[in-house]
Amino acid sequence: MPSFTPSRREFLGAAFASALPGMALAEPPVDLALALAIDCSLSVDDYDYKLQLRGTGQALIDSTLLQLIEQGENHVIAVSAFLWSSPKAQQVIVPWRIVRTGAEANAVADAVLTAPRTILAGSTATGNALAFAEKLLLSAPVAARRVIDVSTNGHSNMGIEVKPVRDRLVSAGVVINGLAVTDGHPDLAAYMKSSVAGGAGSFVIEADNFNAYTRAIRLKLFREIAGARPA
């Protein structure tokens, strides 16, 4: 009898789908599992950190976001968020939460807005952040789409290489999008498009500085939740 060896894409896809069968498969699939990766490297001071949290929190409670969720097939998404900087510095600030109502969106927003900066400001280890998000997705509810949302103001400068992790995730059907804060690195958006973002329909949104972050993250989240549907 001929042997069958599953491809890496098939293996990783099956791993994502069956990571927590007792919990995830008992519920209908969510339309989107969205992992928010928030940069806490040395170039992000405490004021900029708070701007990131405020922008993300405000986007989560925007009425347009709930309208986009309602347009999905199952009318529900799952959201998680974590901080990252150096190779060994990643910390979940919001474990996976279901969002389908205003109250649930408010609860996630509150968790983001009040999250302390629990990791040390360090280098920018984007590859390690993606690897952390990969593990985080294994505990997500079963989802029609899986997206990693990477916000950063710098190039990866330490840790594992970004592209191999990016390519592994994309081969498993994960989409990686970017938000590039470009005031310190004018070429950052181009770098993120070539080395960080990937997958069907992936994109990178630019913000001139952290003061422009609120508008940029709102547009980014709306586009991610809308998926292939018109925003």
Q: What is the pLDDT of residues 160-202, one digit of tens each?
A: 999 999 999 999 999 999 999 998 899 999 999 999 999 999 9
Residues of the chain with pLDDT below 50 are 1-26, 228-231
Please give, one letter per residue, the 3-state secondary structure of the chain: CCCCCCCHHHHHHHHHHHCCHHHHCCCCCECEEEEEEEECCCCCCHHHHHHHHHHHHHHHCCHHHHHHHHHCCCCCEEEEEEEECCCCCEEEEEEEEEECCHHHHHHHHHHHHCCCCCCCCCCCCHHHHHHHHHHHHCCCCCECCEEEEEEECCCCCCCCCHHHHHHHHHHCCEEEEEEEECCCCCCHHHHHHHHCCECCCCCEEEECCHHHHHHHHHHHHHHHHHCCCCC
Residues 154/85, Cβ–Cβ less than 8 Å: no
In order of 4, 71, 163, 175, the CA distances from 229 in angstroms are: 37, 9, 28, 16
Residues 79/97, Cβ–Cβ less than 8 Å: yes
Give residue 32's pLDDT: 97
Give residue 63's pLDDT: 93
Give residue 120's pLDDT: 87
Record the pTM.
Answer: 0.86
Give residue 27's pLDDT: 63
Tens-digit pLDDT profile for residues 131-145:
999 999 999 999 999
Phi first, then psi: give them for residue 192, nearest 5 degrees.
-65, -35
